Amino acid sequence: MDLQDQLKNLFPDHEPEEVENTEQEAPSYWLQDDPIICKYEKRKGKPVTILDGYNGADSDFKKLTKDLKTYLGVGGSYKKESIIIQGDYRDKIMTFLKDHGFSVKRVGG
């Protein structure tokens, strides 16, 4: 006996209401008109991908950085209004950002 059957036994006169999902999914990040600049550097001999030009709030920076790190499975941080991701993941980062509605510009190599 599942939960629905138990509820019908407890409340025989109750008719369940149909709930419509009319809410549209709002963008989870603050989107801007200017493109985000995606560039590649080597720091201390190790490759890093740097994202500059995003001018959202601190909470948006934290959320975007966390989602990128989780998506790629790598480390990273955000400092001084730039997001730093460990490794050369420019192509994957650019497709992730484009899928979420950002405009992205690739700089360098």
The residue among 53, 49, 98, 54 whose CA lies nearest residue 74 is 49
Of 92, 55, 61, nearest to 77 by C-alpha is 61
> Does residue 2 lie in a domain region?
no
Structural domain includes residue 1: no
Please check whether residue 82 lies inside any domain of the structure.
yes
Per-residue model confidence as pLDDT tens digits over 16-74: 677 665 554 445 776 777 888 889 899 899 999 999 888 878 888 888 888 889 998 99
Lowest mean pLDDT among 13-22, 57-66, 72-81, 92-101: 13-22
**Is 49 contained in some domain?**
yes
Q: Regarding predicted confidence, which is higher, 13 or 85? A: 85
- Res 46: pLDDT: 92
What gap in Å lies between CA 20 and CA 28, rounded to an integer? 22
Read off the CATH number of the domain in which 95 is found: 3.30.780.10
Domains of the chain: total: 1
Q: Is residue 38 in some structural domain? A: yes
The range of the structural domain enclosing residue 81 comes to 32-107
Q: Is residue 40 part of a domain?
A: yes
Please give the backbone phi and psi of residue 46, each rounded to the nearest 5 degrees, phi first. Answer: -115, 140
Query: What pLDDT, on a 0 to 100 scale, did the predictor assign at position 24?
Result: 46
Helix extents (H) in 1-109: 3-10, 58-72, 90-99
